[in-house]
Structure 1
Amino acid sequence: MTQWYYADRQRRQLGPLPATEIARLFRGGEVDAATLVWRDGMAAWQPLGTMRAELGLDEAPPPTLDFRAAPEPVPAAAAGSPAGVEAIPPVPQVPAHAASGGHAGYTYAAAAATVDADDVVHAGLWRRFAASVLDGFITGIISYALLIPLMLVFGLSMSNLASGGFAETGMSVGFLTLNYAISFGVPALYFAWMHSSSSQASLGKMAVGVKVVRGNGDPVGFGRALLRYVAYLVFAIFTCGVGVLVSGLMVAFTQRKQALHDMLCDTLVVDRYAFTAQPQMQKRGLDTVTVVVLVIFGLLMVLGIIAMVAFIGMLSSMRWH
């Protein structure tokens, strides 16, 4: 009777088992079509779904099966193997950053192969813009939730203090200092924390299905994520917004779709399944959330322009004395 081996999600080799036992595990949901299997006479481990006929499986394979997985090269026979017995090839390994969990909240199939640079889907301009719109809305809410009580406190304090010029000036400087600290500090801490977390993405990026990684696919640390936002802020402030426009053009036309702050900090914005054990799950083009955000943003822009034109027309029709 032919004996089979299979690899679990921790890449441990289990077996030998008869074909009937492999079929039972499949029907019980303990293994799936992407689970790697091997038997004597096979050159390399193969996804279970490709061996359905031989194993007698009558169910259709789950959609996680990736038939594009290239066959592994036949390894040399292990030293000390008994004569006439074929050595069991090692179970193919996934990248270190994928094996450690990859993108939080997603389970990776065991049969995925190592990702080449050519297989990485980089986030384009519009997905990144939609993520920025969402993140700007989120950080704006957080900032104003802190600033509004601060404004009330400083307003009441200034009205109750002695009406000395130095006191009012001191309170004004103190309020402006806290105002700028919150306005710039909240987004900086938000992006640094989110991009260095297990999700590798801010809430806006998670919504559009992208994440931030190092140039080699490794996760980004807190310090690098903070430096990335500071670099973006510096470009935006000291160029009066021109740096943001230049960064957008670079995302649209560079090969790896890197902005200026990405190049400086050696980071990439890629699809959430990039550099994981499921590269076949990556999506090119625009996702549904991106399209919805862009449509709503466009409508708001059109309404704003119409309102501005109407206001200017109303002012011009008024008679001034």
Structure 2
Amino acid sequence: MSQWYYADAQRERHGPVEADVLRDKFRRNELDLGSLVWREGMSQWQPLSAMAEELQLLVPAAAGTGIDLRADYQAIEDGSAVAKASAAAQSPYAAPTSATTGEAVVGGGEIVYAGFWKRVAAYFIDSLVVGIVGGVIAMVIGMVLGIGMAGIGGGSDAMGAGFIAIQLLTNLVSIGLAAAYYAVFHASSGKATLGKMAVGIKVVRSNGERITIARGIGRYFAAMLSGLILCIGYLMAAFTERKQSLHDMICDTLVVDKWAFTDHPEWQQRGLGTVTIVILSLFGVMVLVGLVALLAIIGIAASSFS
């Protein structure tokens, strides 16, 4: 006979057990039709209601108990049944089903978490986008304020203070632009920045829901903390169970494949993918060229002093 596994109300996995044990627990209300079960040969965990016929839950209990589940099962089939509060329980290894405004989050399926190198590729693209746009804006602000200060005139101390103020302002604008970019894109329907869209990943809450703009802003500044500790917070994504960086843990977020928490979890991609490989290759070439240029500059400087 098949050996079964089941998840209790606390989402703890139990088993293997015989089918009789599941039937007994169901009749004693230790499990309900929303509880998840699995046996060998099933591609993923299923609610008990989907396996009711195979487990013979429709058969009336032993004579004298007066329990007949056939009417309840028919109500589930035609959609007239009222779901129990615990029916939303999901597999211990997948986030629960929930809903967001204008879209459904599908839980219970396999979740492919975005690996470290996919995140590096996405960050490289996003850094280019934010850097270019931020640089242009900062240059315009600096030119406008610089021309204004030159027209006003003043002593050297005033000019020095003015340039410091310009630098602070441009830095604040750059930080604000980056925070807005990441927060707005992560809170959008795509749940991803341009870089993440390119490599096929997205940012969600731990239960699959879309994050809010406020959480997106908080995640951006939490990412600064990941960088301040020698980037150890970023490197955590390569070693944690759900591939979370420090800022993901702080803000209760996950970075997953774009098809995770959808009706088509089978479309998720485990490998790096062509775009990621191309981006990482370009990044590697740029780093190599930069190192060669740095060594050349050091060599020229050293020869000039000899």
- Settle same-fold status: TM greater than 0.5: yes
Equivalent residue in structure 2 for 1:234, among 210, 215, 225: 225
Other-structure match for 1:101:
103
Aligned alpha-carbon RMSD (Å): 2.9
Other-structure match for 2:176:
185
Q: 1:169 offset after TM fit, Å?
A: 4.1
- Tell whether the 8 Å contact from 1:99 to 1:277 is kept in structure 2 after alignment: no
Matched, 1:205 2:184: no
Q: 1:68 offset after TM fit, Å?
A: 4.9
What letter corresponds to residue 77 of structure 1 in structure 2? R
**Alpha carbons of 1:88 and 1:133: their partners in 2 closer, same or farther (altered >3 Å)?**
closer
Q: 1:296 offset after TM fit, Å?
A: 0.5
Cα distance between partner residues in 2 of 1:272 and 1:283:
9
Matched, 1:89 2:67: no
Matched, 1:283 2:276: no
**Alpha carbons of 1:209 and 1:167: their partners in 2 closer, same or farther (altered >3 Å)?**
same
Q: Which has the higher contact order (CA 8 A, sep 6+)?
A: 1
- Tell whether the 8 Å contact from 1:115 to 1:279 is kept in structure 2 after alignment: no
- Secondary structure of the corresponding residue to residue 257 of structure 1: coil
Matched, 1:271 2:246: no
- Secondary structure of the corresponding residue to residue 89 of structure 1: helix
- Secondary structure of the corresponding residue to residue 242 of structure 2: coil
Q: 1:72 offset after TM fit, Å?
A: 2.3
Q: 1:145 offset after TM fit, Å?
A: 1.9
Cα distance between partner residues in 2 of 1:174 and 1:99:
43
Matched, 1:317 2:303: yes
- Tell whether the 8 Å contact from 2:100 to 2:210 is kept in structure 1 after alignment: no
Same amino acid, percent of matched pairs: 37
- Number of residue-to-residue matches in the alignment: 232
Equivalent residue in structure 1 for 2:108, among 115, 119, 125: 115
Other-structure match for 1:72:
50
Q: 1:311 offset after TM fit, Å?
A: 2.3
- Secondary structure of the corresponding residue to residue 72 of structure 1: helix
Cα distance between partner residues in 2 of 1:219 and 1:191:
13
Q: 1:125 offset after TM fit, Å?
A: 0.3
Matched, 1:131 2:122: yes
Cα distance between partner residues in 1 of 2:250 and 2:218:
9
Matched, 1:307 2:293: yes
- Tell whether the 8 Å contact from 1:98 to 1:276 is kept in structure 2 after alignment: no
**Alpha carbons of 1:121 and 1:161: their partners in 2 closer, same or farther (altered >3 Å)?**
same
- TM-score (normalizing by structure 2): 0.68
- TM-score (normalizing by structure 1): 0.65
Equivalent residue in structure 2 for 1:141, among 132, 147, 154: 132
| TM-superposition CA deviations, 1:263-292 (whole Å, max 9, x none) | 111110000111111111111020111100
**Alpha carbons of 1:312 and 1:170: their partners in 2 closer, same or farther (altered >3 Å)?**
closer
Other-structure match for 1:219:
210
* Structure 1 residues not aligned, in runs of 5+: 1-66, 104-112
- Tell whether the 8 Å contact from 1:195 to 1:212 is kept in structure 2 after alignment: yes
**Alpha carbons of 1:279 and 1:97: their partners in 2 closer, same or farther (altered >3 Å)?**
farther
- Secondary structure of the corresponding residue to residue 122 of structure 1: coil
- Secondary structure of the corresponding residue to residue 138 of structure 1: helix
- Tell whether the 8 Å contact from 2:115 to 2:243 is kept in structure 1 after alignment: yes
- Secondary structure of the corresponding residue to residue 311 of structure 1: helix
Cα distance between partner residues in 2 of 1:275 and 1:170:
52
**Alpha carbons of 1:139 and 1:167: their partners in 2 closer, same or farther (altered >3 Å)?**
same
What letter corresponds to residue 225 of structure 1 in structure 2? G
| TM-superposition CA deviations, 1:110-168 (whole Å, max 9, x none) | xxx8424xx11000100000000000001011101211111211221222222224532
**Alpha carbons of 1:87 and 1:202: their partners in 2 closer, same or farther (altered >3 Å)?**
closer
